[in-house]
Structure 1
Amino acid sequence: MSARDSDGEDPAKPAAKRIAYITPEGARKLRAELDELWLKERPRVTQQVADAAAMGDRSENAEYIYGKRRLREIDRRVRFLSKRLDVIRIVTEPPSDPKRVFFGAWCTVEDEDGTEKTYRIVGADESDLERGYISMDSPVARALLGKREGDSLTIKVPKGDVEYTILSVKYAA
């Protein structure tokens, strides 16, 4: 079931404080991180804290103090991931018009200098500029959403206005 079918929202257009969309790949990564923290990292650190506590004076025990701090960090991240996984909507189906840029699209653009860049429009939890994954709420993604292959657009970025032409729009198979 697509996100549009389940809640009437259109994942192509960002809205004020609305549902957080995510790709299946992104959801798997969040779940894997939660499992790693809860099932492996936390038990390991808990054991280290117990071992350090058994050494005596806890007030000057750096291993104990660091371990307790690390447990708080793990617990904070586990709470965040658990809550996040409860509210995200996994977008599994391609849009009805695969020639347009919507959530999940791989979009190759060319700037006025002829430089090509490929971006994937993803949720905020998945953005990773090094991989070309940009949040659907970013200025570049907002300008691309709803456009078609061959369209030209101007994007306002901190460095100024940049002119792009969309070369291709693809969705994961």
Structure 2
Amino acid sequence: MKGRNMQRWRDPKKDPRNEKKTNLITPQGYDTLQQERDFLWKVRHPELAQKVKEAAAQGDRSENADYTYNKQLLNKTLGRIRFLDKRLDALTIVADKPTDQSKIFFSAKVELEHEEGERMALQIVGPDEADLQQQKINIDSPMARALLGKSVDDEVVVQAPDGEQVYYVLSINYPD
């Protein structure tokens, strides 16, 4: 069995790697992914390829840490480029605002108030651009799912790991 790639068995129904991602993205999120892909292909890839070439020219590759390290970085970079190429092709850009802007839909910026009085602002975005530090939540998250279709002054009940949370919708707007 030596040399075989052995992984532990996972139930396909419970494996998080088999979860389907929503293929929606805002125009800004798409541009960010496209810029990352372009940077990796036009800047990072040539830099690493040159470093690998220079390290390979030094002779014995088996004991050349510089060659091994840069080759690994190059392979990771190429893997990320392949992933971004596939993902960018699969994404659907949602650029239009919904006709009924009084309800919460994809790309909405929402201000909420927790039942204890704490306020927070969120934007509902695709999984590729979700970032809690920028207050952008994944449309597939329990919070976003609970918010979809709600209006101002609606009560929103979210099933959180530490129990049920209640929020009230204070405002809804859609960015340009």
Please, what TM-score do these two structures have when normalized by structure 1? 0.89
Q: Amino acid of the residue matched to residue 54 of structure 1?
A: A
**How much identity, in percent, do the aligned residues show?**
44
Q: Amino acid of the residue matched to residue 155 of structure 1?
A: V
The CA deviation at 1:18 is 7.2
Please give the alpha-carbon distance, in whole angstroms, between the structure 2 residues aligned to 1:112 and 1:87.
39
Query: For residue 98 of structure 2, what is the aligned residue in structure 1?
Result: 95
Provide the aligned length of Structure 1 versus Structure 2: 158
Query: For residue 80 of structure 1, what is the aligned residue in structure 2?
Result: 83
Given candidates 22, 26, 29, the residue that maps to 2:29 is 26
Per mean C-alpha deviation after superposition, the further-off stretch among 154-163 and 23-32 is 154-163
The CA deviation at 1:113 is 1.2
The CA deviation at 1:36 is 0.4
Q: 1:107, 1:166 within 8 Å by CA — same for their partners in 2? A: yes
1:51 partnered with 2:54: yes
Please give the alpha-carbon distance, in whole angstroms, between the structure 2 residues aligned to 1:115 and 1:63.
52
The CA deviation at 1:91 is 0.3
CA RMSD, aligned part only? Answer: 1.2
Please, what TM-score do these two structures have when normalized by structure 2? 0.87
Runs of 5+ consecutive residues of structure 1 not aligned to the other structure: 1-15
The CA deviation at 1:166 is 0.3
1:146 partnered with 2:138: no
Q: Amino acid of the residue matched to residue 117 of structure 1?
A: M
Task: Indicate the SS of the match to 1:121.
Answer: strand
Please give the alpha-carbon distance, in whole angstroms, between the structure 2 residues aligned to 1:125 and 1:84.
9
The CA deviation at 1:31 is 0.2
CA displacement 1:13-72 (0-9 Å, x = unmatched): xxx847500000000000000000000000000000001111111111111000110111
Q: Amino acid of the residue matched to residue 153 of structure 2?
A: G
